[in-house]
Amino acid sequence: MVSLHHRNNQHAELNLILLLMKATIHLLFLAVLSLMVMTGPGTVYGQGSGYEFNEQVRLPATSVKNQGNSGTCWSYATLSFLESELLRKERGRYDLSEMYIVREAYLDRAELYVRFHGHLNFGPGAQAWDVLHVMDKEGLVPQKAYPGEQKAGGLPRHGQMDAVLQAYMQEVIKNHNDRLSSSWKEGFRGILDAYLGDAPGKFQVEQNTYEPHKFVNSLGLDPADYMPVTSFENHDFYDWYVFESPDNWSMEQIFNVPLDELVRIVEHSLEQGYSVAWAADVTNPGFNFGKGLAVLPQKSWQEMDAYEQSQVFEHPVKQQAVTMDMRQRDFDQYATTDDHLMHITGMAEDQNGTRYFIVKNSHGSANPYQGYLYVSRAYFRLKTTSLLINRESLPSDIAGQTGK
């Protein structure tokens, strides 16, 4: 006969063994899940797809963010780019406030909107260089110092704020009193304060007190170190022109290069340890963040049936050979539009040797690559609208032709 005390001991030991087995199974499951995404140095497998990527360059980057329901990709992508610059320069890991940039850029944009009597695009969209303009004029602040307050479910939700700001500005330019009062600026700031919160004058970082400009100085960031680049043949190559996009409300000039050089600039930058801010059209059916891929199949989407289209994201396909003429045609016909800004942090090849850029997005991490996607070189060639790069990353023969 077994004593009650002994049976209790056996029962406790059995429970302990079961708990350990459950914990072991859980850990094994997590390990297998992670291996579905990353196995070994430089080799990545997509969950549920036949794509295999050999990563040749993978640069450090901060955590993937989520812009929620807001047209602020330009702020998220460019600050991610600057945060990677700080990592490259060994200045530390920072989380910079996207909404501080959004707020200050809105103020600058409203001023220009009034000066142009409303003949200027007014809305939430902007460009990578607008982040530099704010950094130069108003400084930067950490996320903790200015998180922005208009959220739903923890994520930015700007539909109402954008609509109120636009309606307000439309009334301002009607000049109802025959003479425009400068009071409109205080009203505009009041709307921003109501939705995003007051901008901080001073804040603490690691027991040090900073103002936004002094914080930029402490980081060692200089807006003059960066430049925008594009490639369109309706302007002279190796020259500057005002970039033709509705979101270029600040009317910034951009440096124009041939298409092959645009690709070379990105690849050279990555090889030298510099990441790149990337603006592109994402309305093409080949862009699928849910699958973590942006591809340009050789066979057009219109020629494929539904099954063929679904297989594009399941197995590597032959890509189109994109020419400068094709790129210009799509831009001229509005088939390429200036939609979205992201952050290029690396390069990879699939199992067939096709080149891809590794791109960090700002729509959270719920995709097979934890918020990143693999963009084929063909897609990049056809759908890129602009880049923001560190001037130091330019190939020397191109750098000598910038004239700035």
Q: Does domain 54-399 have CATH number 1.10.8.10?
A: no
Scan for tokens 């994201």, then name that residue: 313
pLDDT computed for residue 40 by the predictor? 34
| 353 conformational bin, left if phi > 0, alpha if psi -120 to 50, beta if neither | left
Scan for tokens 């100085």, then name that residue: 217
CB neighbour class for 305 (10 Å; exposed up to 12, middle 13-18, buried from 19): exposed
> Residue 69 gets which letter from DSSP?
B
Distance between terminal CA atoms of the chain? 93
Between CA 78 and CA 56 the distance in angstroms is 23
Instruction: For the chain, give every domain's residue range.
Output: 11-35, 54-399
User: Each residue's pLDDT tens digit in the chain (404 positions)?
Assistant: 333 344 344 444 545 444 444 444 444 433 433 433 333 336 676 665 799 999 999 999 999 999 999 999 999 999 999 999 999 999 999 999 999 999 999 999 999 999 999 999 999 999 999 999 999 999 999 999 999 976 667 899 999 999 999 999 999 999 999 999 999 999 999 999 999 999 999 999 999 999 999 999 999 999 999 999 999 999 999 999 999 999 999 999 999 999 999 999 999 999 999 999 999 999 999 999 999 999 999 999 999 999 999 899 999 999 999 999 999 999 999 999 999 999 999 999 999 999 999 999 999 999 999 999 999 999 999 999 999 999 999 999 999 999 87
> Residue 44 gets which letter from DSSP?
E
pLDDT computed for residue 222 by the predictor? 97
Q: Give the amino acid at 158.
A: H
pLDDT computed for residue 154 by the predictor? 82
